[in-house]
Structure 1
Amino acid sequence: MSSQVLSSPDSATGAQQDIWLSTVVRPLGFGWLSDRLPGRIPPSVLYAVLAVIVTNAINLFYTLSTGADPIYMTNPYYALEIILLPAAIVAAHSLHREYNQAMIEMDIKTRATNPDPLLSIIPSWLPWSLLVVGIAIQFIFPGPVSTYGITAMFDNFVVLPFVYTPIVIQFFATYFAIEVLVPIRLWQSDIGIDFLDPEGVGGLRPIGELIKKSYYYIAIGLVGYALITYAPFINWGWTVDAEANLLFTAIWIITIGGVAFGVFVLHRFMYREKREEIHLLKKEFRAHLENPYDVKSYEVPEGDEELVADIEERISRVNATSEYPATFSIWSQLLLSIALPKLLQFVIAGL
C-alpha cells in the first residue's frame, strides 16, 4: 500500500505536494482555483474555508427566511467553527512541513537503509478508513433532527458527514501518524540514535517538538469545542447534555493516550539503542584490559592508555544521553497543554 508523501515544497521545482484532502478536493475545482490564486494556497485550505462559509451561509439564510432564530442567537460561540475547521487544515499542513523538516534535520535519507517509511507520513489507507468510520458513526448516531427540522436534517446527514468530517479526518490522520505511526516506524528502522547530539536527546528533539506541537493544536481544538459546548456567560436557552460532556472527556483521554503511546515507544526505542551501544562499548573496553572484571586489580596494558581513555569517553557520552526524546522545557509545556483543556472544561461548565 502506498503512503502519502509529506506536503512540502519540492527543493527543485518549488511545487507543493498535496496532502490527502487536497488530492480529494482538487478534481472538484479547488485545484483549478488554487493554481490561479496568488500565494500558493493549497486546495484543502480553500475547500475548508469555502465549505464552512457556504454551508453556514445557507443555514443562516434558510433559518432567517423561516422566521426562526439562527443558532448564533442562542449560542454565539458557534461562530468559532468558521475559524476552527479551516485552522485544522492549516495546522495539518504545518505539521506535514515540520515533519519533513525533522526528517531532513535527522538526515534520515542517509542514515536509514530503507528511509521510505519514515519519509512518508500518512499511509494512503488511513484517512479513507477513518472517513468511512466517521460517516458511519454520523449516520448511526445523528444529532437531534426533530427540534430544528430541515436545517438539522441538512446538517446531520449532508454537512457533517460529507463536508466537515473530511476536514476533521485530515487533521486527526496527521495527528495519529505523528503520535503513533512515526514512533513505530523509528522503532522498526535501523537509524539508531545520535549519541553525539549536544542536547543529549539522541538527535530526536525534532520528533519531541513535533509531538508537543501536534498536541498544542489538539488543545486549541478542545478549548474551542468547550466554548461551543458550554457557552460560558450565555444565560438564555442553552443547555448541555451528558453526551456532550462524555464526548469532550473521551476526545481528551484518547488524544492523551496518543501522546503517551508515542512517548512510550520512543522511550523504549532509545532505551534499546542505548543498551546495545553500551554493551558493545563495554565489550570493547574489557578487551583492552588485564583483569577486566576486577575493579581493584585491572590494568591498562602499556600503549593502550589513549585507546582505553577514548572508549571510556564514549561510554560516558552514551550514558549521558537521555532515554526520552525531549528536554525538560518541552515536557513542561506539553503537560501544561494537556491539563489546560480539562481545567477549562471544569471552570466554564460551572459558569
Structure 2
Amino acid sequence: MADVQRYRDRLLIEIIAEKLGFGRLSDALTGGDVYPPYLLVAVGLFVEYGLFDVYNFLVSGKSSFFVQPNSLAIPAMTVLGVFGLRYIHESYADAMIALGIDDEHVDIDASMRRQFEGLVSLRTRTAAYVVALVAFYAFGAFVLGFPRLIETDGIGLVLYAQAVSFPLITIPILVELGVSYVAVHLAVPRRLAKADFGLFYYDPRNLGGFEPVGELLKRSYYIYTGVLLLWFLQTHIPVILSQYLSSPYPAPGPGFQAVLSAVWFVGVLTIGYSMYRVHAIMKSKKRAKIRSLERELKRSVSDPFDATLTDIENREQYENAQETLAHVESTGTYPTTFAMWSQIFVSVLLPQALNLVVQLPG
C-alpha cells in the first residue's frame, strides 16, 4: 500500500494551527477527529464576526455585517479556501497513487518520482505568503489608511483583523490556495509529461486511469471560481443593492473590473492549458498503442492488404490484438466526461458574465 502522505504537502495553515495549539485542542475536544485548521478558522472567524462585529453593531455603532452583509464574503472565502486547500492537496496525493506512481510495473526514475512528492515546495508557499503579507499591510497603510479603518470599524476589530484573522488565517489560506491552484494546472501536467505515464486501457470509465487527474483539475477550478465569485459579491453587493445598503468605502472603479477580468482570464488560461496538456499526453499514448497493435495485426496475417478470413495465419494473436484494440479505441483522450465539460463551461462563463452585467460607477 502506497504512502499517500508521501505525496501530500504539510500546509502553512496546518503549521500555524499546530503552533497555536489547535492540534492539542482537537485532540482534547474530539480525540483528533476534527481537522485542526477547521477549528482555527471557526474560532478565529467567530471572534471577529461573532464578538467584535456584533459589538460594533449593538454598542459602538461602527461598521458591521448586519448593515454590510457583503463583508461576510470574506469569511466565506476563508471557509471555502480551507476546505478547498485540503481537498486539492489530498486529491493530488490520491491521484498520484491512482496513476500507479509507486507500482512496480511503472517504470519511473527515482529522481522523477521525487518530483511528485508534494505539490508545491514549502519555500515557494512561504515566500508567496510573505509577499502577500507585505502587500496587505501596504494596502492598509497607503490605500485604505489605518486611521480611516479605525474610524470605520473600531480599534478592537482593526487590531484583531490586522494582527490575527488576516495574517494568521485568511491570508495564508487564500495565498496557499492560489499557489496550489497554479501548481495543479501548470506544474502537474508538465510532471506527467516528463514521467511518461501509460494509459490504463481497461478503465471501466474509458478515461485511461486519468479520471482522478481530471477531477483534480475540474474541482480545483471550481474552487478558484467560487473564491472569485465571492470576491465579486464582496465588492459589488453595495453597488447592486445601493438603494438598501450604504458602504463606508468608495465603490470600486472601472480599474477593479479590469483586475477581476484579468483574474478570471488567468483561470480560463490555466484550465485550458492543463486540460490541453493532459489531452496531449493521453492522445500520444493512445496513438502509439494503436500503431503497436497495427503492427501486431499485420504480423498475424500472411498478406496485410488481403482482407479475407483465410489470410489469418495466427488467429490467437489476431483475436488478442483485436480485443486489445477495442479497449484502446474506446479510451478517451481527455480526463473528463461530457458532463464534466458542461460544468466547466458554465463555471468559465459565470464570473465574467456577472462582471460585464453589473456596471460600476466611473
Q: Do structure 1's residue 92 and structure 2's residue 85 form an aligned pair?
A: yes
1:215-294 → structure 2 map (5 Å cutoff) = 215-231=221-237, 232-235=240-243, 236-238=245-247, 239-292=251-304
Query: Cα distance, 1:252 vs. partner?
Result: 1.4
Equivalent residue for 1:200, pick from 206, 218, 223: 206
Q: Do structure 1's residue 187 and structure 2's residue 180 form an aligned pair?
A: no
State the secondary structure of the residue aligned to 2:241.
Answer: coil
1:1-351 → structure 2 map (5 Å cutoff) = 5=6, 18-38=10-30, 40-56=33-49, 60=53, 67=60, 69-72=62-65, 75-110=68-103, 111-112=105-106, 113=108, 114=110, 115-118=113-116, 120-142=118-140, 143-145=143-145, 148-150=148-150, 158=163, 160-161=166-167, 163-231=169-237, 232-235=240-243, 236-238=245-247, 239-292=251-304, 295-296=305-306, 303-349=313-359
Q: Distance in 1 between matches of 2:168 and 2:44?
A: 10
Unmatched runs of 5 consecutive residues or more in structure 1: 8-16
Quick check: 235-244 or 335-344, which moved more?
A: 235-244
Query: Cα distance, 1:79 vs. partner?
Result: 2.0
CA deviations on 1:63-90 (whole Å, 9 max, x unpaired) are 6799553153652210232233123102
State the secondary structure of the residue aligned to 1:322.
Answer: coil
Q: What is the letter of the counterpart of residue 203 of structure 2? A: D
After TM superposition, the score normalised by the length of structure 1 is 0.81
Aligned residues: 338
Quick check: 230-239 or 192-201, which moved more?
A: 230-239
State the secondary structure of the residue aligned to 2:120.
Answer: strand
Identity, in percent, stands at 23
After TM superposition, the score normalised by the length of structure 2 is 0.79
User: Structure 2 vs 1, CA of residues 296 and 288 (structure 1 numbering), >3 Å: closer, same or farther?
Assistant: closer
Q: What is the letter of the counterpart of residue 83 of structure 2? A: V
User: Structure 2 vs 1, CA of residues 250 and 275 (structure 1 numbering), >3 Å: closer, same or farther?
Assistant: same
Quick check: 259-268 or 316-325, which moved more?
A: 316-325
Calculate the aligned-residue CA RMSD, in Å: 3.4
Q: Which structure carries more relative contact order (alpha carbon 8 Å, separation 6+)?
A: 2
Unmatched runs of 5 consecutive residues or more in structure 2: none
User: Structure 2 vs 1, CA of residues 305 and 347 (structure 1 numbering), >3 Å: closer, same or farther?
Assistant: same
Q: Distance in 2 between matches of 1:172 and 1:116?
A: 23
The answer for the alignment partner of 1:11 in structure 2 is none
Quick check: 52-61 or 303-312, which moved more?
A: 52-61
Q: What is the letter of the counterpart of residue 40 of structure 1? A: D
CA deviations on 1:292-317 (whole Å, 9 max, x unpaired) are 4xx35799766412312322332343
Q: Distance in 2 between matches of 1:79 and 1:92?
A: 20
Q: What is the letter of the counterpart of residue 189 of structure 2? A: P
State the secondary structure of the residue aligned to 2:65.
Answer: helix
Quick check: 110-119 or 165-174, which moved more?
A: 110-119
